[in-house]
Structure 1
């Protein structure tokens, strides 16, 4: 059994004691190409696989806190007022990479213009292996193919999502196994990867740079000076690094704190000691990209570390596990350290 960080959260230390355990329900709507996840009937997240005409990979979207607030950005699928208009491939929570045998899976979207020739890769959902609802925990196992520019399968993916919930928290465990099909697959050092989510405007770090945002009708508007009212995000790592300085550093976990509609929220994305490249480098940006990338040490260290250029031989597999914790209320480093002893 893999060693999971935060394993002690699960049995009593972290999940709030409730008279009636939460019921986590998975509901598959094949016509809508989505599996909805609810907690006691209230939205938590959804696994969506609309296909490459809409998205070039399956994602979890949207993701909500225990208080019912969106922690993921709505644009481009469901624009909300005041959101940035950038990086249309940043949707919900996803897993892909910027250079896989020379193919860019990260930046691929329908907004890519003819001036950007790639080559691009696409991840196609191929099936739901199993789906199990339950009290305080539910599990979804899905499969996908990573296709090259000629729609030939490079990698076969099997991903297990485990969803957990308490009265003031939500947890998503993602365990992804990638198998090289008929030839070696090289993940060349590239800053674009590996697991990521694009957070809501309120969880961004305050900025004064000019940007483009959506208005109440979802129309793009240029804003010369940012209005930072309600923008409260701050990154903080297990090594004590904060803010923009987090980018390119290594850490066991990164915590992003902020407030949405008077709900204090702590997001913790954590690495697993058995993952390649542990402890991971962090590709975390103040504008709302929250990503862990263990496969690009030379790029993310600005050349201080040697290249990895991770090679997955034909027929072999590699497994990655990450956890996203969404905690309502403040979560101090001391509490985190006590919980992961």
Structure 2
């Protein structure tokens, strides 16, 4: 599946987020001895309104960028780096890298949306979609607050979930909390959805909800070609590929490993692997207060790492079902923590301990 090119202006804007420093570029994998991160690293957020982005700098280096360019169908965090500067996110379709997959153009960085909101598909919308009638999009409205600090940085934003007529179905008020300590980087994403103009139905759907598309090295080794079908029946071919340097492995709180994690519930799931000699683990933590807790994991070996608390029928093979609704004026909050760990000692850390701290 081949994505259409973004406009030249949009590409320039988005690529700017990857060029904050040469040690953190998408292509950079070299590490230097002076890259040791001190405890309680300083976090600085830099808002560039013209480029429609907020860079997150930890210990003087780019960690990630909040991107809200008009060419995107939803704001994203992209790219996301380890403490040592390796990108854990796929480069394509913004900054392609040799040997990586080019499927699912809507899989970009870290995002939050859903496959059925009042019958509209927010999840699969991308620049590849020409007829937007049956698709929804999320529009960034405002940066409400930016706070820098010695221990953490906070970004508060407002978004609108809209149909193709630009009518607002949901408002979203989200707080991002970014922290860095030694070889660990942390993202808290706390989103409150409100239905301002009438009832909103988030009908049970496989495509959701917090999604991360990983670098090729963190995928599972490709064993055979596969075909994946989205909720609307559209198919995507995912071919077998060269597995050199591909080392990913899922592990969930319920003890499942590898591809067996998909379609199971868990308080957390980790994805471990290696990029350019750096041992890495990425852990997503659910929150007991979230709707649909504990979440189902829509975790695929080809690099989609997603938590979907609302797609229960699809992911449980019909054993459970949750058709979530918000009445007019009603709100719901979805909170997740994403840990990006580097090096053996931290990568082997007990995710249960991290989950208990987050659950408090």
TM-score range, shorter chain: 0.7 to 0.9
Give 3-state SS (helix, strand or coil) of 2:352's partner: helix
- What is the RMSD computed on CA atoms of the aligned residues? 2.0
Aligned to 1:29: 48
| Aligned mate of 1:39, from 44, 53, 58 | 58
Q: Which runs of 5+ in 2 are unaligned?
A: 1-35, 227-236
CA distance in 2, matches of 1:208, 1:243: 12
Aligned to 1:310: 324
TM-score normalised according to structure 2 size:
0.82
Give 3-state SS (helix, strand or coil) of 1:134's partner: coil
Query: Residue deviations 1:283-318, cap 9 Å, x none?
Result: 00000000000001111101011x211010001111
Residue 110 of structure 1: CA displacement?
1.2
Aligned to 1:6: none
Aligned to 1:261: 276
- C-alpha change, 1:21 and 1:282, in structure 2 (3 Å) is closer
| Aligned mate of 2:87, from 70, 82, 107 | 70
Kindly indicate whether residue 112 of structure 2 is the aligned counterpart of residue 98 of structure 1.
no
Kindly indicate whether residue 142 of structure 2 is the aligned counterpart of residue 123 of structure 1.
no
TM-score normalised according to structure 1 size:
0.87
Give the number of aligned pairs: 310
Contact 1:104 1:118 in 2 (8 A): no
Task: Give every structure 1 segment of 4 or more consecutive aligned residues whose post-TM-superposition deviation is greater than 2 Å.
Answer: 17-21, 208-211, 222-225, 329-341
Query: Residue deviations 1:135-187, cap 9 Å, x none?
Result: 12000000010001211001111000000001201000000001101110000
- C-alpha change, 1:19 and 1:151, in structure 2 (3 Å) is closer
CA distance in 1, matches of 2:103, 2:291: 30
Q: Which runs of 5+ in 1 are unaligned?
A: 1-16, 212-221
Contact 1:103 1:149 in 2 (8 A): no
| Aligned mate of 1:227, from 235, 242, 249 | 242
Aligned to 1:50: 69
- C-alpha change, 1:48 and 1:235, in structure 2 (3 Å) is same
- C-alpha change, 1:235 and 1:18, in structure 2 (3 Å) is closer
Aligned to 2:157: 142
Higher RCO (Cα < 8 Å, 6 or more apart): 1
| Aligned mate of 2:336, from 305, 322, 328 | 322
